[in-house]
Amino acid sequence: MMQESIKAAVVQMSSSADVQQNLGEARRWVHQAAREGATLICLPEYFCWIGDDEMQRVALAEAFGDGPIQQALSELARETGAWLIGGTVPIRPSHGPQAGTHAYNTSLVFDPSGQSAARYDKIHLFSFNQGAEQHAEGDTMVGGDSIGTAQGPFGTLRLSVCYDLRFPELYRAGPSADVIAVPAAFTYTTGLAHWELLLRARAVENQAFVLASGQCGTHSNGWRTFGHSMIVGPWGEVLARHDDEPGIALATLTQSALDEARNRLPVLTHRRIATPSDVR
């Protein structure tokens, strides 16, 4: 049953190529969020590793349901008694021609008992070319093809990752979301231009809360990520943010805020165009 209100937290990190250090930092911030009352906590994309050679990320990939990174997330959820959105974890494809050369960029949800409650493989792979700044996620990542949804402590939770934010049809596929999770590693360039704009747009058009947890700072591989993690309400208002350094932002999500937005302007009941069927 959906709770009338919960406290949610987004964790902002500046991850390195040291997996154990990153896991320790994640544990520190998740425990702090839980001490401050959060029962739904979101880690950022790539929270466990950002390094110089993307093939190292592929080498870290775990079989789904088995591996030290997933085990650490499960234990962290159990220790804190929180629902934990595990940012993204590299997950090894179980078969196919890319099984040894690519990994899924996977967001996982763990319930307070430490059980895996949902999996979402990032569908849209980031590609960007601006002179010296270039990104091609498809070189080492394989895209998923299914939406990710969980029934969490505050209704329907829709999973997405970073670049997915630019594809609004993803959020209208399947059941309507009460909360949208966007763990991200937005570049500074694109984040400065579009991050808050896109987050608030997704909140408004879906009349849902948005939890956006980001990477920040300059990483060892030269990436500069934008940070500015935030929680956005269903009317598009920024309820909490954490700008430039590692840390957390917290806000209370309420059923009354959802009801007010949806009753005032019942957008979801006015839809006339079906969601494209290519998102399964």
3-state DSSP assignment of residue 228 = coil
Chain mean position to CA 109: 10
Contact at 8 Å (CB) between 239 and 36? no
Catalytic residue (choose from 42, 48, 162, 216): 162
Catalytic residue (choose from 25, 48, 54, 122): 122
Supply 201's token pair: 């747009």
| DSSP characters over 154-212 | TEEEEE--GGGGG-THHHHSSSPPSEEEEEE--BHHHHHHHHHHHHHHHHHHHT-EEEE
Q: Among this protein's residues, is 162 annotated catalytic?
A: yes
Cα–Cα distance for residue pair 253/183, rounded to 1 Å: 18
Catalytic residue (choose from 25, 45, 54, 137): 45
> Which helix or strand (DSSP H or E) is residue 26 part of?
helix 19-35
Q: Among this protein's residues, is 7 annotated catalytic?
A: no
Cα–Cα distance for residue pair 215/226, rounded to 1 Å: 7
Contact at 8 Å (CB) between 158 and 149? yes
Q: Among this protein's residues, is 122 annotated catalytic?
A: yes
Cα–Cα distance for residue pair 83/212, rounded to 1 Å: 15
Q: Which residues are catalytic?
A: 45, 122, 162
